[in-house]
Structure 1
Amino acid sequence: MNSWQRNIETFAKEPALLQRIAELGYREALALGEEVREEYHFLARGEYNENFVFTHPDTGKKYVLRVNHGSQMQLERQISYEAHALKLLEASGRTPKLYYCREKSGEPGILVMDFLEGVALDYAKDLKIGSEILADIHGLPYNREEDIGKDKLYFAKDPLQEMLSESARLQRVYELSPFMEDSVYSRLHALWKKGVEEKERGEKLLRQEEFCIINTELNSGNFLINGEGKKNYLVDWEKPLYGHFAQDLGHFLSPTTTFWKTDYILSEKEIIDFLEHYQRCRGKELPALQEQTALFILYNCIRGLSWCAMAYTEYKKGRDLQNDDTFQKIKAYLQDPFLTKVEECCKKLF
């Protein structure tokens, strides 16, 4: 079986990709030559994207071909938005370098970026490295006034209200579905109302000068860890924003995040140690750091559970792109013991 035949097999469900990888612009951008000699292999699948890996036949360099199937942010140019963020983040040394991006009407958007080595972050031993990665990214200079064009980073001017509004919309999808359970919905909505109660106090904690480029999707699998003193990365920039740095910290430390891939829930000491090291890495005073982070842990719990309720509805309806492991985890989030642990965590914070 030659390379082209193997690619036909790899893209059997999306044969249009065979034409995309043969396009002149694609091949010139990556110096691949006119003939398709490289072989593509499936790498990973998310809720809205599929990733394939291939090796340059002449240089031996490995790349990732990312294929987009939808947008959490309801963007018309989702893959272009992600590509723009990667360009802005390149100077951090913590993200993949972008080589190619194209949106094509009626077909999935694609981009090509570095394949980076590393393993998923281990909450039990890699928290220090995680804080260093986030400190480097959050400390990256970004002048939003100079960021112009169609793919300019979205400004989370009022992040608390936006998270509450998004969560309300997600919960509404669940509430109106034939798969809604009253006991689950009432508990999710109670957490949402707690967020409403904390909003006014929380807004006073968020200073405009502390806004920066944030990832907003900090699952452990999005980190590529190689160890202390080595190169460590953060990948998957599907939903970057210009927002408050604590929104990222709250997402990273929230039980709705840590439990997703690892079944791990951080202790109070682990959270405090993480924040102390993060502040040292930033090299600046962050006087409201713990309060800001606690606020966003609550809000990320609300948003995470609301997303699970919406996704549960989509899966039950039979969405196009499905992952059984993801569906099983979604169901675990919407029942005990996990739901009780989240409620207890939020009570301790406030």
Structure 2
Amino acid sequence: MLKDILSSQIKHYIKDKNINNYINLQSNFNVEFLAQGEYNVNFLIYDKYNKYVFRVNTKSQLQIENQIKYEYDALKKLEISKVTPKVYYLDDTKSYINYGILIMEYLKGRPLDYSKDLNKAAKIFSKIHSIDTNNGNYSNFIKEENILSDRIKEAKRLLKIYFDSDIVNTEQKKFFYNFIQWAEKNRYKENYFKDNVWMVINNTEVNSHNFIIGDENSFLIDWEKPVISDPCQDITQFLAPTTTLWKANYILSKEEKEMFFKVYKDYLNEDKQIEERVHIYTPYLYLRALSWCAYAFIEYQDPNKDIKNMDTFKKIKEYLDINFMNNLLKDYI
């Protein structure tokens, strides 16, 4: 498996590349598999005194040539928030290990629990969304100003191989055809965001396991594909059942969502009607989530795919169930 091959390579890489110029790691260090996503494999490198995350990127979800540098640069800009990991080292040459590499801070804690950590999550979002992207150089970030149109464009790209596939049934294809037609018809609602501009850094992958909840401090990790856009991107995704069911099998109540909105706005010290923004964006968030599932479903048929998480594949198939998808959209379409 890829993680086993990488584990062996990392040991030699750290010794040969004099990584101690960037981090404090004794010569008798250890390498241990930590976790993997769809496009990254993470390892713990540690000695008796220090721990770091060694992150290996295998592919870009943003169609970026230098994915690992994009993530590194984003983390550097985000350090001011104090709720994201510090990053220490970047290697985007792919000359030793055939993937992009970065080394970052290891943060001790547990995944977010929706039943008791909503306030902590709201505070994290408010700190990140308070970073003033109008001052300073944030040109390295992808900027999404047409938030509904961007979701339609993204969905069409993701769904191309799905529509062309012989293994997808007609009913599912029809669902996505109709969904895109609805999204196109309601694209005019994008004017709300153009008339009420609010641009912040969004993580775009805010599931419960991308939060580290500590005893004193809590963090949002996995900044693989951040963008500068309306804050409803992250807030909608965080609250949506497509996210809360993904790792935690949880659905937020109306009361829990209202409490989250209140805390978020209290710490943001602004009242920009985040609730209305979330309401407009929600079906387009579903378009993104379900289209990605469709794309990933086809990817998982490829025997040469570098990373395969069977729990993820199981969830993908659950989300593509026609009854599940129709139920998500019953209040919109």
TM-score by length of 1: 0.87
- Structure 1 residue 241: deviation in Å? 0.7
Pairs within 5 Å for 1:280-291: 280-286=266-272, 288-291=273-276
For 2:89 and 2:14, the matched residues in 1 are separated by 11
For 2:323 and 2:261, the matched residues in 1 are separated by 27
Paired positions, count: 329
Match of 1:175 among 163, 166, 178: 163
Q: Which residue of 2 aligns with 1:5?
A: none
For 1:54 and 1:105, the matched residues in 2 are separated by 20
Deviations 1:126-178 (A, max 9, x none): 21211111011100123466235xxx111112222111101111122111012
Q: Which residue of 2 aligns with 1:327?
A: 313
Is 1:218 the counterpart of 2:209? The answer is no
Deviations 1:180-210 (A, max 9, x none): 1111122233233222222212332345751
Distance 1:101 1:334, change over 3 A: same
Match of 2:42 among 47, 51, 56: 51
Q: Which amino acid letter does the alignment assign opposite residue 68 of structure 2?
A: I
Pairs within 5 Å for 1:101-140: 101-105=90-94, 107-140=98-131
Pairs within 5 Å for 1:51-90: 51-57=42-48, 60-90=49-79
Asked if structure 1 preserves the Cα contact closer than 8 Å seen for 2:72 and 2:87, the reply is: yes
Gaps of 5+ in 1: 1-8
Q: Which residue of 2 aligns with 1:27?
A: 20
For 2:17 and 2:6, the matched residues in 1 are separated by 23
* 3-state SS in 2 of match to 1:213: strand
RMSD over aligned Cα atoms: 2.1
* 3-state SS in 2 of match to 1:297: helix
* 3-state SS in 2 of match to 1:205: helix
TM-score by length of 2: 0.92
Q: Which amino acid letter does the alignment assign opposite residue 159 of structure 1?
A: I
* 3-state SS in 1 of match to 2:171: helix
Q: Which residue of 2 aligns with 1:307?
A: 292
Deviations 1:266-325 (A, max 9, x none): 233322322222111110121x32121112221111110000001001112332311111
For 1:326 and 1:240, the matched residues in 2 are separated by 21
Match of 1:251 among 233, 237, 255: 237
* 3-state SS in 2 of match to 1:146: coil
